[in-house]
Amino acid sequence: MSFNRKIVRMNFICVKTMLVAAAAMVSLSSFSQDLIARQAPIDRKLKSVDSLALQKQIRAEQAAYPAYSLYPSWNNEYVHAYGRNSETVVPESFTIDLRGFYMPTPSRTITSPFGPRWRRMHNGLDLKVEIGDTIRAAFDGKVRIVKYEARGYGKYIVIRHANGLETIYGHLSKQLVDPDQIVKAGEVIGLGGNTGHSTGSHLHFETRFLGIAINPALMFDFPNQDVVADTYTFNRNGRFERKGATAVAASNAADDNVIKYHKVHRGDTLAKIAKERGVTIAELRKMNGLTKKSRLKPGQIIRCS
């Protein structure tokens, strides 16, 4: 009888031990789940912090090196730093974001358009401003050049932007920024003037993509003080597309009405240019006053439409 009681007692102790262990496991599981539940917001917060830090770092790098993926170099000396022998690779097409713009001047008067002028190419727009008028940065960017050119731009500024454009502001009376300075759209960068090769006070304004001059009027509507569209698509073959709230309906028609030009390179012929531009040799000759004996010269500007 005593032996049986010992067995029962031992079984009771075993059962009790198992129950205590089970309770402990349940408690530990609940504690773990509670810990995980409390840790989840911390993890999310850490991820958020990491994301914000990464975004901040990316923005800082973009500001320090605007359009880094497009431009192979940065220099503070030459406006036209992207010659045929440079490392620059011009894409077949590239969409330029025009949002976040600021008109460089409130002037609505264009005194000289983009295109051939005085037997040479005028690569920008001349806008009527008075000496001392405020000139502002068109987009966020980084100042690449602040220099003086007596026989050309006069006192001028070049800014590179994250959207791939470089803007040039010429004939200034005063420059108010320094090379490598980061500027915001609308920030005052200089004052209007009449310096350099200029016949009167005005702002010479250029827009370039990888060194290629683009008519600013295709992007900026100075008479209405607005951009023409939200985006501008650069195409290496000379055609373009504009999309946005202000130019959806007119973009295709405008494309057909734009006068296009071709800069002659070594080895170019009328036949080659005609094929590339989708026109006939006879049309090229007629538009440019050429004859069968005319010879093309490198650097010559040929009208193609």
pLDDT digits (tens, 9 = 90+) for 173-192: 999 999 999 999 999 999 99
Residue length of the chain:
305
pTM of the entire predicted model:
0.63
Beta-carbon count within 10 A of 36 CB: 10
Residue 95 has pLDDT above 80, yes or no: yes
Average pLDDT, the chain: 79
Across residues 20-29, what is the average pLDDT?
52
- Residue 178 is predicted with a pLDDT of 97
- Cβ contacts of residue 243 below 8 Å, gap of 6+? 229, 230, 231, 233, 251
- Residue 130 is predicted with a pLDDT of 96
Residue 214 has pLDDT above 80, yes or no: yes
Distance, in Å, from the CA atom of 262 to the CA atom of 239, rounded to the nearest integer, reads: 12
- Cβ contacts of residue 78 below 8 Å, gap of 6+? 145
Please, are residues 154 and 196 in contact by the beta-carbon 8 Å criterion? yes
Across residues 3-9, what is the average pLDDT?
55
DSSP letter string over 117-167? Answer: ETTEEE-SEEEE--TT-EEE-SSSEEEEEEEEETTTTEEEEEEEETTSEEE
Q: Which residue has the higher pLDDT, 122 or 36?
A: 122
Tokens of 6: 């010992």
- Residue 249 is predicted with a pLDDT of 34
Phi, psi for residue 181 in degrees, rounded to 5:
-80, 135
Angle value at C-alpha 213, between 210 and 219, nearest 5 degrees: 100
pLDDT digits (tens, 9 = 90+) for 66-76: 888 898 889 89
Q: Is the dihedral of CA 82, 124, 128, 96 positive or negative?
A: negative
- Residue 42 is predicted with a pLDDT of 55
Beta-carbon count within 10 A of 151 CB: 7
Tokens of 171: 């004939």
Residue 16 has pLDDT above 80, yes or no: no
- Residue 253 is predicted with a pLDDT of 36
Closest CA to 156 of 186, 184, 124, 185: 124
Residue 206 has pLDDT above 90, yes or no: yes
Closest CA to 168 of 128, 139, 200: 139
Distance, in Å, from the CA atom of 59 to the CA atom of 282, rounded to the nearest integer, reads: 52
